[in-house]
Structures are given as structure tokens and as C-alpha cells.
Structure 1
Amino acid sequence: MLGDMVTLDGKPASVDDLLPLALTNVGHFTSMRVDTDGSIRGLSLHMDRLTRDCKIVWNASLDTARVREYVRLALEGQARPCVVRVTIYDPKVELGHPADANEPHVLVSVRDAGALPPAPLRAQSLVYERDLPHVKHIGLFGALHARGAAQRAAFDDALFVDRNGFVSEGGTWNVAFIDQEGTVVWPDARVLPGVTMALLQQQAEHRTATVTLEQAKGMAAAFATNTSIGVRPLAAIDDAEFPVDHPALRYLQEAYLSIAGENL
């Protein structure tokens, strides 16, 4: 069953192949939504991310043509739309000598994709800063711990605020706001440079600015974004409620869906 769901370098992954991920947890990844026609919005940006992060994490180059081929193989016979995750790691990585691991391999997994956009999100603000926020790495403990804490407090997810009191990002998503003039505001903070964020910045007038939690709660609307959710309205941050049908949100949702996908 495991081999049917996960492949390593185009072949079924074994338990031994996956043990380094479970025990050492060093690697990076990207997740891509595959539409019904097989295309992927921002595919080139996803490949750029993998290449950039591979140099940072492994000090190694990455053959993206090989990555694309492994993704094509993994998608054969899969229902669409779906979300494909590409994880780059070295099965030989060791806890005591991570610098010795410099031959990254390509792990591909596929899961079902939900409808776009998903239901509005209620977020609880929490003080937290991810390690190496500019890298989409697999070290998710802190982010998921924050998400769990928010859910136990009856929210859907956590919204991170840094040590200086500025809003940054969500657990696994970028956040943006609509100000009172209708302009999109992206937080000027140490965040993951999201692919969906980059695509949306090409679609609508926007600005980047530091945003305090108090300023965030005073915005006209707010939304979360990543490849799996597209543009997902925020219904609330803590006790501050937001409209989920703001015209700017509808425009962004439609603009995102109109972006042509790229073929593998």
C-alpha cells in the first residue's frame, strides 16, 4: 500500500527509504495543485523554489527535468484535481553529520484536492516565528503545534505574530489583507515567499507593509493563500470579525482561477 502512494526517484518507496524523514526530519518540499486538465498553476515557480531550497538545504543542484518526470509518473492513474507534494531529501542523512548528506533524492506523494475556495477560516493570533522562514522545509513541528493550540481554542488555525508584534504568516499559508481603500496589503515580514502569493501579486494592485496585530484587525478584509486553498477568506482573527464576501476577495478568487496552468 505504501509503495502505491509514495515514490522515491520514480519507484515505490520502502519503509527504510522513509525512516530518515521520520527520525532525522531534514528536507524541503513544495506542494502543487493539479487541475482536472493536468496543468499546474505556477509550475515554473514551484521548480524555482525546489532549486533554490535545494542549494540552501543540501548545497546541491537539482535536475528539475527529472523532478517533472517523477511527478508525471506519480500522477498516472490518479484522479484529478489532486495535490502532489515533492519532497527533496537524502536518505543517507545522519543526525550527527548532516553536512555529509549532499545527494538529494525526490520523494513524490499524491493526495485528493478539496474544492476551491474552501470555507472561510477563523484564526487565532500566536507569537511564533518559523526556522528559516524563506525555505519551505519539512520542519513543521512548531507550526503544527501552534495550529493544534489554536484548534483546541476553537479556531481553525494559527496566525503568526513575530517577536516585534508584526503579523507574518499562517501555519502553512501566506496571509494578506484588504485595506479600507481596497488595496491588497502583504505583510512585510520574514515569511515563506509563496507561489500563490507571487501569482496573485501579478493580478492585483498591492503594497507590502509592516502590519501590527491591531492594524490587521482593522482591515476591511483578510485572506489566506497557498496552492491547495487558492484564496481563502478569513472570517476572524481572534475576536475581530471580517466579511467573507468583500468584492476584492471575489475578484482575487476569480483572478486566481483564471491563471493558466503549465503542463508538466
Structure 2
Amino acid sequence: MCAGQLPAFAATMVASVSSAPIRLEIDGREPEVQQLYGPLLSGDGHFTAMQVRGGRVRGLDLHLSRLSATARELFAADLDPSLVRARIVHAIRGVPDCAVRVYVYQPDDLMIMVMVRPPSVPPAGPLALRSVRYERPAAHLKHVGGFGQVYHRRRAAAEGFDDALLTDHTGAVEETAIANIGFFDGAAVTWPAAPHLPGIAMLLLAPLLPSRRAPVLLGDLPSFRSAFVCNSIGITPVGRVDDVSYPPDPDLMSMLAAAEAGIPWDAI
């Protein structure tokens, strides 16, 4: 693979990010150019991402709670979940199947931006991950300051990997650049305990699986039978991390598929 060629997973994600939105609205209206200056230039905001099917989404209350809690932490402002919900409903009108991102900024009052794109599907995998040392600032927040993640994903892709696996200064696994990761030992899924973003998909899956949260060091990876990543797009098996290989694990993937199928879809 030449240095400029992206692996299949990375190419899929780049295409998803760069595809033109079906609709973009700020506070329920098509934005004026001047309204975009702040979001484009400030780098000060937060968001949540979801897949909508038939006008429904998994974990809607968790998405709304995430936005409200982060608005309080970042801006010391109250964000009305019912207003956010109304903005989403308005933006997806006539588009029952789509990918939605809701951004919140505070140029003066709180600003709600909703971007609607074509629906996304997870790659088939298995993924190859390249470990890197990078600790996301305010890792518990889904904020817009993602340069470090994008940088390390690009570096990983240039080396023939699909994504970067973020670790701290001790070698403790945190998450990938765009997803949570789980490791399976044949009995239970271990979710890394290092600082990370609690993804909605992980929050929905973990209670439905034999799960534990514990530190996972890079040196521990050979002790696991298999691994997978999950985010709003779906669940994908991991084939290797650096030089540690994980063979296909149909039992794990069947367990994950059954758990995911049990997560209800909420009407927006």
C-alpha cells in the first residue's frame, strides 16, 4: 500500500465526513453565512452524532442528556432537551433515514446546529489499529477540538492501519480516534478504564453484555481472545493492534449482534 492510499475503513470514514449534507440548519433555519463564522473559527463547541432510521434513533435520551450536561459544563448554560428534539425533527423532515449531528455553540446565546447527511453503515472489518500516545483533552466530553484524533488517524492510515488506538503515558488503552473499544476474554467484555468518551453505543451495549471496566495496558492485549469497536455507526471486529492479532470470533460477534438487536429505537 502506498503512503497516500487509505485503507478501506479510513476511506469510508473520510467519505462519510466529507459528503455534502442533505440539510444544515441553525436554530431551525437555513444559516446565513455570518452565522457560520463562529462555529468554523472558534473551535469552541460540542456535539453528538446519531444514526436515524425510520425517524427513530437508539438512545435518544442519552444523546439529549449528553448535550444538556456538556452545555452546562462548557458554557454554564441550560439547554432545553425538548428544544433540541424539535430542532432535530425539523431538520430531518422528509428524510427518515439519515446520519445526524447536533452541534452546540455559544456565540451569544446557545446556538443549535443540526447537520443531516446520508445514513452511514459500519465497515465489515476486521480493523487494524495502530497504538499511539495521545490523551484527549477533557476526554469525557464530545467536543469539537478533534485535531489530535484526525492527525493520528491520518498517520495510522499512512502506515496501512484503519484507525489509531489512543493510549496514555503509561500505555493504558483509552479508545480509538473515533470509537470505544472492548476486549473479550471468552467470558466477559473488558472496557478500558483510562479516561475516554463514554460513547452512546457503549452505554447502550454494556448493560446487555457480561461486562467489566478495568485498566487495559498494551502489554495485556495478547491475553484477550478478541476485540471490537463500537460507535453510533455500529459494531466492527478488530483484527489486530500493532503486532497483536485477533482471529475471527463468530461467538463474540453473534453475542454483540444479539445485544444490539435488543436496543430499542426511540421515536424522535
TM-score (normalised: structure 1): 0.90
The answer (yes or no) to whether the contact 2:192–2:216 under 8 Å persists in 1 is yes
Residue 39 of structure 2 aligns with which residue? Answer: 21
For the residue of structure 2 that corresponds to 1:189, the secondary structure is: coil
* 1:157 shift after superposition: 0.6
3-state secondary structure, aligned to 2:113: strand
Which runs of structure 2 are paired with 1:218-257 in the superposition (5 Å)? Answer: 218-228=223-233, 230-257=234-261
Is the 8 Å Cα contact of residues 123 and 236 (structure 2) preserved in structure 1?
yes
Q: Secondary structure at the match of 1:52?
A: helix
Secondary structure of the residue aligned to 1:191 is coil
Aligned-residue Cα RMSD (Å) equals 1.6
SS at the partner of 1:133?
A: coil
Q: Encode CA deviations 1:46-99: one digit per residue, 9 max, x unaligned.
A: 11100111111111000111111110111112251x210000002x2xxxxxxx
**Is residue 2:50 matched to residue 1:46?**
no
CA contact (8 A) 2:173 2:218 kept: yes
Which residues of structure 2 form unaligned runs of 5+? 1-19
Cα separation, 2, equivalents of 1:239 and 1:199: 30
The structure 2 residue matched to 1:31, chosen from 49, 54, 70, is 49
Contact between 1:3 and 1:13, CA under 8 Å: does it hold in 2?
no
1:3 and 1:162 mapped to 2: Cα distance?
35
Displacement of 1:205: 1.1
Change (3 A) 1:122 1:4: closer
Q: Secondary structure at the match of 1:40?
A: strand
Farther off after superposition, 117-126 or 25-34:
117-126
Q: What is the aligned counterpart of 1:202 among 187, 203, 207?
A: 207
Instruction: Tell me, in whole angstroms, the C-alpha distance in 1 between the residues paired with 2:165 and 2:37.
Output: 31
Instruction: Choose which of 106, 109, 117 in structure 2 pairs with 1:111.
Output: 117
Runs of 4+ in 1 over 6 A off after TM superposition: none
Q: Which amino acid aligns with 1:185?
A: T
For residue 183 of structure 2, the aligned residue among 177, 180, 189 is: 177
User: CA separation in 1, counterparts of 2:165 and 2:40?
Assistant: 26
- SS for the counterpart of 2:169 is coil
Residue 163 of structure 2 is aligned with which of 129, 152, 157?
Answer: 157
How far is 1:4 from its partner?
5.9
The code of the aligned residue for 1:172 comes to I
Percent identical pairs in the alignment equals: 35
Say if 2:16 is the partner of 1:11.
no
Are the structure 2 counterparts of residues 149 and 117 from structure 1 closer, same or farther at C-alpha, using a change threshold of 3 Å?
Answer: closer
Superposed CA deviations along residues 232-255 of structure 1, whole A, max 9, x for unmatched, are: 111111121112333122211232
Give the deviation of 1:220 after TM superposition: 0.5
SS of 2:182's equivalent in the other structure is: strand
- 3-state SS of the aligned residue for 1:158? strand
Asked whether the 8 Å contact 1:84–1:108 carries over to 2, the reply is yes
Answer yes or no: is the 8 Å Cα contact 2:21–2:115 preserved in 1. no
Structure 2: how far apart are the matches of 1:208 and 1:4? 39
Partner of 1:216: 221
Aligned to 1:85: 101
Q: Give ranges in structure 1 of 5+ residues lacking alignment.
A: 93-100
Aligned residues: 249
Separation of aligned partners in 1, 2:264 and 2:123: 17
* Corresponding letter in the other structure for 2:32: S
Query: What TM-score comes out, normalization by structure 2 length?
Result: 0.88
From 148, 152, 169, give the equivalent of 1:146.
Answer: 152
Question: Structure 1 residues 15, 254: closer, same or farther in 2, change over 3 A?
Answer: farther
AA paired with 1:131?
P
User: 1:215 aligns to what SS in structure 2?
Assistant: helix
